Structure 1
């Protein structure tokens, strides 16, 4: 099964970001990808953290969710909507949610980001908990590819990558593929991004597909990029530095079985 990470440099306006994403979707579809993953905040990287409150949608309704559903249906692909802001019971906060749509345009899974990013480093100050209410549950879904192979997929978002217990929960649930839509900062990405992605692939003997924001944004923020696909041995199959791009790789069920059979580390867990 071919998969694609769609790397973007999102601006502040959803319509402009839809226009940036569409040719990436079309490129991935032409290359034969069946599962497409957009980056975190693909539809809007606001000027201020609070901008996401105004753009927040009710679950199941709104222009961003309509675009995702229509795009999945139009191109007949599985589409993971990076993340978008969904309203919750707290008026001053939203959920940072990753939604999965099947080739008929039906939403089949929703994951609310559990771990909220904090960085206090010189001029870089981030505290997602000011505007985001964290999720609490790991989420997986099952994808049936065109060749009838079945893939169990674990969802995560950006800062979750630093918490291996989430991915171990996915491994315990039988996941073959781990998704990581992200907007890593340039500072943290340069230091840790590839190391963390490859570690999550190796320790859980699963493919990892990471779609990132990558470049200088309209709001002044710079994100790291380096969207990639890693295999269960930790080898990088495809990668892109910065700028809008499509990162494509083929997932091989036989390779997955080979790695798990030759080094059955998941069966050796004690704790």
Structure 2
């Protein structure tokens, strides 16, 4: 399986991002990619929520989703569109990712379960103030094996990743817009841990650099083997990264350390 990662510096204009992503998908396909992964918030990254509200659409009307589906069909490639800010059923937005088949049809959707509500000293984030949380974990069928769908802050909740692996995931996508402080401290170690614990390939497409809304993201999109080896690290520059992965390594890693089969129920001792 040959994959591509699009490492981007998404801005505040979805129309421009739609055109850019469609072109990048074409470039990645021309380089032989069979499936292409994009970051969290691939269509709009804007911390000014009043301004962002004017650009957030319902799924059926979103220009980025429409453009990416068309590009997938035009180039006959699968695309994991890491996530988009969309209008939800209630008053809040939803952070939703999509797996798009090579015919341009949507194969699966996933809404981010764990919302980023943290204080980092100089930075404070309250994703739940504008977004509603998802409730369902998703493993989607692909021609290469089961693909588990997660988004960014989900990576800190290993029970989700174990559940995905136990449900058939051989690959887990972790599109992200990690802050620089948390990225420098935790990005590599968290993603390597999730790969090792589950015996899955981990594909993490990330936002990078200085954004139009004033934030800065960490970059370092990664491809990590089921044994925890970093096979691709894109550093901080935007662009297209390519990698070939062997799904046979999933069973090989799980055969060496069958932790998924060794898990046992337990109870906490009373003090």
Structure 1 residues 116-135: aligned runs within 5 Å: 116-135=115-134
How far apart, in 1, do the equivalents of 2:158 and 2:70 lie? Answer: 34
Give 1:261's aligned residue: 255
Give 2:169's aligned residue: 175
Give 1:237's aligned residue: 231
Give 2:268's aligned residue: none
SS in 2 for 1:10: coil
**Could you state the TM-score of these two structures normalised by the residue count of structure 2?**
0.93
Structure 1 residues 243-254: aligned runs within 5 Å: 243-254=237-248
Q: Is this contact kept in 2: 1:9–1:243, CA < 8 A? A: no
Give 2:34's aligned residue: 34
Give 1:142's aligned residue: 141
Give 2:67's aligned residue: 67
CA deviation profile, 1:7-38 (whole Å, cap 9, x unmatched): 00111111222343344323321222111111
Residue 55 of structure 1: how far off its partner (Å):
2.4
Give 1:223's aligned residue: 217
Q: Is this contact kept in 1: 2:17–2:64, CA < 8 A? A: no
Residue 51 of structure 1: how far off its partner (Å):
3.7
Instruction: Indicate the RMSD between aligned Cα atoms, in angstroms.
Output: 1.4
Residue 221 of structure 1: how far off its partner (Å):
0.5
Specify every segment of 5 or more residues in structure 1 that has no aligned partner in the other structure, as ranges. Answer: 145-149
Give 2:13's aligned residue: 13
SS in 1 for 2:131: coil
Q: Is this contact kept in 2: 1:7–1:39, CA < 8 A? A: yes
Residue 59 of structure 1: how far off its partner (Å):
3.0
Q: Is this contact kept in 1: 2:116–2:127, CA < 8 A? A: yes
The partner residue of 1:270 within 247, 264, 267 is 264
**Could you state the TM-score of these two structures normalised by the residue count of structure 1?**
0.93
SS in 1 for 2:209: coil
Structure 1 residues 89-100: aligned runs within 5 Å: 89-91=89-91, 93-100=92-99
Residue 60 of structure 1: how far off its partner (Å):
3.0
Give 2:184's aligned residue: 190
CA deviation profile, 1:200-249 (whole Å, cap 9, x unmatched): 00000000000000101111110000001000000011111112112221
Residue 164 of structure 1: how far off its partner (Å):
0.6
Residue 119 of structure 1: how far off its partner (Å):
2.1
Residues 38 and 51 from structure 1, CA distance in 2 versus in 1: closer, same or farther, beyond 3 angstroms? farther
Give 1:207's aligned residue: 201
Specify every segment of 5 or more residues in structure 2 that has no aligned partner in the other structure, as ranges. Answer: 266-271
CA deviation profile, 1:113-171 (whole Å, cap 9, x unmatched): 00000221232111000100000010111101xxxxx3100000001011111111101
How far apart, in 1, do the equivalents of 2:3 and 2:133 lie? Answer: 28
- Are positions 1:155 and 2:154 aligned together? no
